[in-house]
Amino acid sequence: GINAEYGTSPHSTKIEFIVVFLTVLVVFIATALAVSTRPQMSKQSVILSATGEHKSTIVFAHGLGDEGASWAMALRQMQAALPNTKFVFPTAPVQPVTLNNGYRMTSWHDIKSLAEIDSDTTDRVDGVQASIDILHALLESEIASGIDASKIVLAGFSQGAAMSVRAGLTFNAPLAGVGALSGYLVEKALLASDLNKECTTKTKVFVAHGDRDPVVPFVAGERLAARLRELELDVEWHAYSGLVHSSSNEELRHLLAFFQSVLADNDDALEASEKEAVDNAEAL
């Protein structure tokens, strides 16, 4: 019979319920698939906790095919000089890289050719936005834990350097610093429009490159520094004679000095260093 009050039959009501249920199910499955196919970090970040009171954080992104643990070992030596700083070393998503014939490896974004690294293309590069989102989420996590953006540095090597510049200078709050070792400017034509303008007065940028780099040309590092200066950013530039696509003790000393200079929360360590310098001078 017909339901006199609503003008519908029980049978049609059941059909409507099934249609609604199937619609919700399809939406749920589509959402789950979208989330599962979105690039995610392939491993948990390696964390070096502050040895003193946690007052600042450095996030360091590795290069193509590498992982966070490698740079954790390289920068562990800095902990003594930065006792109040936590280090975070994320590992990029595993995804196909066109340059390597589609081979899947840890990569912050796709690279079609080495020539593309320093190009002026206006195109979006596959993977860049997803990796920006990953790095921004790490920064937001630190802020949620009580660390102000002005006490955070985002740095990286090679592809990680490119992403640190791209993510660090477009974050919704200006960071203390951004570091780029052997890097380049990805999506360079788009940075100006995406740039957080507060960074021009509140964020210092460290750019360093070896003049014998066979992978990311030295000129790419020079152009990165020049472009950031054109955008009125405060850039500290270092060139290393004879250095290939790698780091060096000299570069790491300069990087440490940069970290110390922008992270004023390590005043205790700086005061100790200054006292030691005074003591040494008096002993002469």
Residue 100 near residue 72, CB atoms below 8 Å: no
Residue 207 near residue 156, CB atoms below 8 Å: no
Which uninterrupted H or E stretch holds 144? helix 128-144
Over residues 184-229, the pLDDT tens digits come to 999 887 888 999 999 999 999 999 999 999 999 999 999 999 999 9
> What local confidence, expressed as pLDDT, does residue 119 receive?
67
Kindly state the tokens that stand for 174. Answer: 């200006």
Which of 71-75, 191-195, 246-250 has the least mean pLDDT?
A: 191-195
> What local confidence, expressed as pLDDT, does residue 25 receive?
56
Over residues 121-156, the pLDDT tens digits come to 657 889 999 999 999 999 999 999 999 999 999 999
Question: In the chain, which ranges are E strands?
Answer: 43-48, 56-61, 85-91, 94-97, 103-106, 152-157, 177-181, 204-210, 234-240
48 DSSP β-pair partners: 87
Active site residues: 158, 213, 245
Q: 80-102 burial, b for 16+ CB within 10 Å, e for fewer?
A: ebbbbbbbbbbbbbbbebeeeee
Over residues 92-117, the pLDDT tens digits come to 999 999 999 999 999 999 998 877 77
Using alpha carbons only, what angle is made at residue 133 by residues 131 and 137, rounded to the nearest 5 degrees? 120
